[in-house]
Structure 1
Amino acid sequence: MNLTVAVIIFLFNIDKILSIKLNKKITKTNFKEPHAKFKQQTNTLIINGVISPQRLFYARVRYARFPGFCGATILEGRFVITAAHCVFYLHPNDIYLEVGDFSLLHPSIETYRITAIYVAPGFNSSNQPINDLAILKTSLAILRAGSMYLPLCNSEVPEDNYPEVLVGTCGLGSTSTGRYTINPAVKLREMFFTLTSFDTSGGMNYAACREDNYCTVPVFEGGNICAMDYGGPFFKLHCDTLEPECLLGVASYSLSKHDNLMENCNDGSFFVKIAKFEEWIDRVLLNHY
């Protein structure tokens, strides 16, 4: 089955997928409505995404000397994982971690100092970073980390299974595609994708997706990660539900179409693969605990 047919079949059955309840608050109805209202109400949504339920594994990396932030995911007691391009040029004292229930409008936030930054081998910073992973170590153990963390997926998704797997990301990044307008979300929100073997920038140009990345096709048309979503979790969903099963990757970058210089984040979302760095992650956690 070719990719185009598979995606069409997936989208044809999306009502069935989205009709499954996440919890008492999230149903088929309120997944559909945010997308329909996007043009009238962008201040509380991911770019063409939906309001997120509670995702306690999500954390936020803040900068001490300038505004802005990146997402992160709790790994275990004193460690979180994020995008290397968010932190590689900084000293640990230049950043700190915020943990809380960001699905709330006014969450209670716990703050942690960062004592070490570990950047993945082979990282290369550019507008399309390579091997874009970093692990941060906190000064103290994160309270309740044992019940909040998201386990790592123990393998990559086989390419033959891409059309059958639903994946998601969540974040607090910009809800506007305007090149000169950054509007962070007021509450956590998320987007769902299917995986593809091709780099989808430039309108599905059929170049192969880079080996260190997952390339994606958004479930909701126009859905993308954007500024300050980077570093956030990219998760595989449990079969037949919309609940995260394991951490598949980290939000790395999005691209912008060349034919519209006034907009960003409208030409594909790319996520670095966790499984490619499993041995490195294990070494960091073991040697630096």
Structure 2
Amino acid sequence: MASCLLRTLLPLLVSIQGCLVLSSKIVGGRTAIPHSRPYIVSLQFLGNHICGGTLIHPQFVMTAAHCVSRIIPQLMQVAAGVHDLQNQEPSWQIFNVQHFFLNNYDENLILNDIALIQLDRPATLNENVQVAPLPNQGQSLPMGTQCLAMGWGRLGTDLPISNVLQELNVTVVTFQCREHNICTLAPRQRAGICFGDSGGPLICQGVVHAVDSFIRGGCASQRFPDFFARVSLYVDWINSILKNVEEEEKRKKEEEEESWQASGFPVGSL
């Protein structure tokens, strides 16, 4: 039985490792104050952290499409309220995944690298678990805007991952950037995102403006900016997904209540 399971999972593990080529870590950053970024979550496969994400609704996480495009939803879990991956505190909330939503993701061109994850139940919002606000549809982000990138992952190409959340101040740049991306650099320092933690948020002016997507030329190369998926291009799509799911859940609840009433039992009776 064990060998059969291993043969089943090996191709999937290879696929996940392939997608992690796009993933990101923080190089040259600093340790975040514990639970000071309550909107970031850890996406986990077989108990191991593989990507970051952002809670944008009590039951929805936004992440990079390449983090989930090759994974069966039932094999992923989402952990909110996390600071240290190796220290499961009472603040942790663990969720199973109900569904992935992608928007014409192009793996070859790395276009539309954004996804929504529907959790199996709503998160309990508190001081350690919060929802991050979205920008307006089409909202621009001027060159020179100061932002904050964050994530778990290696502290350098040949260094082990950081078990505690790292963050880095970055500046929005436009050179060599594509119109559907937001690009950043860490001025006057060899720092940036890299392998190990894609899908995490880029927070600018208190809003999650972008999703950590990919790099060029190596980690913190200083020759190329870091690339993020521009969230403002997808706000209408995101809101349509949230609305459709909420309407579907409302319809199911009404049908259940009607079924109870038709059976002759008062609604809510045991």
Normalising to structure 1: TM-score of the pair?
A: 0.68
Determine whether 1:152 maps to 2:120.
Answer: no
Q: Which runs of 4+ in 1 moved over 3 A?
A: 155-159
| 1:134 Cα offset (Å) | 0.3
**Displacement of 1:288:** 1.6
Q: Which residue number corresponds to residue 53 of structure 2?
A: 72
2:112 to 131, 135, 142: 131
Structure 1 residues 77, 273: CA separation in 2 closer, same or farther (over 3 Å shift)?
Answer: same
Q: 84, 88, 92: which one pairs with 2:69?
A: 88
Q: Pick the aligned partner of 2:234 from 260, 277, 284.
A: 277
For residue 248 of structure 1, what is the aligned residue in structure 2? 209
Q: CA contact under 8 A between 1:47 and 1:176: conserved in structure 2?
A: yes
Residue 191 (1) aligns with residue 168 (2): yes
Measured in 1, the distance between the counterparts of 2:74 and 2:199 equals 19
Q: Match of 1:281, SS?
A: helix
TM-score, normalised to structure 2, is 0.73
CA distance in 1, matches of 2:79, 2:49: 13
Rg comparison, structure with higher value: 2
Unaligned runs of 5+ in 1: 1-44, 200-208, 238-244, 258-263
Matched, 1:229 2:159: no
Aligned length: 215
How has the CA–CA distance of structure 1 residues 136 and 158 changed in structure 2, closer, same or farther, with 3 Å as cutoff?
A: closer
- 1:24 maps to none
Displacement after TM superposition at 1:130 (Å): 1.1
Separation in 1 of the partners of 2:211 and 2:53?
8
- Cα distance in 2 for partners of 1:52, 1:139 equals 28
Q: Which runs of 5+ in 2 are unaligned?
A: 1-24, 247-270
- Structure 2 partner of 1:168: 148
What's the offset of the Cα at 1:95?
0.8
* Match among 94, 97, 103 for residue 111 of structure 1: 94
Q: Which residue of 2 aligns with 1:27?
A: none
Q: 1:47 corresponds to which letter in structure 2?
A: V
Q: Secondary structure at the match of 1:279?
A: helix
Residue 63 (1) aligns with residue 45 (2)? yes
Are 1:177 and 2:150 matched, yes or no? no
Q: Give the Cα separation in 1 of the matches to 2:87 and 2:151.
A: 15
**Compared CA separation, residues 154 and 251, structure 1 to 2 (3 A):** same
**What secondary structure sits across from 1:211 in the alignment?**
coil
1:195-242 per-residue CA deviation (whole Å, 9 max, x = no partner) reads 11112xxxxxxxxx21110111213511111122200011103xxxxx
Using the TM superposition, give the Cα deviation of residue 254 of structure 1 relative to its aligned residue in structure 2, in angstroms. 1.6
**Partner in structure 2 of residue 268 of structure 1:** 225
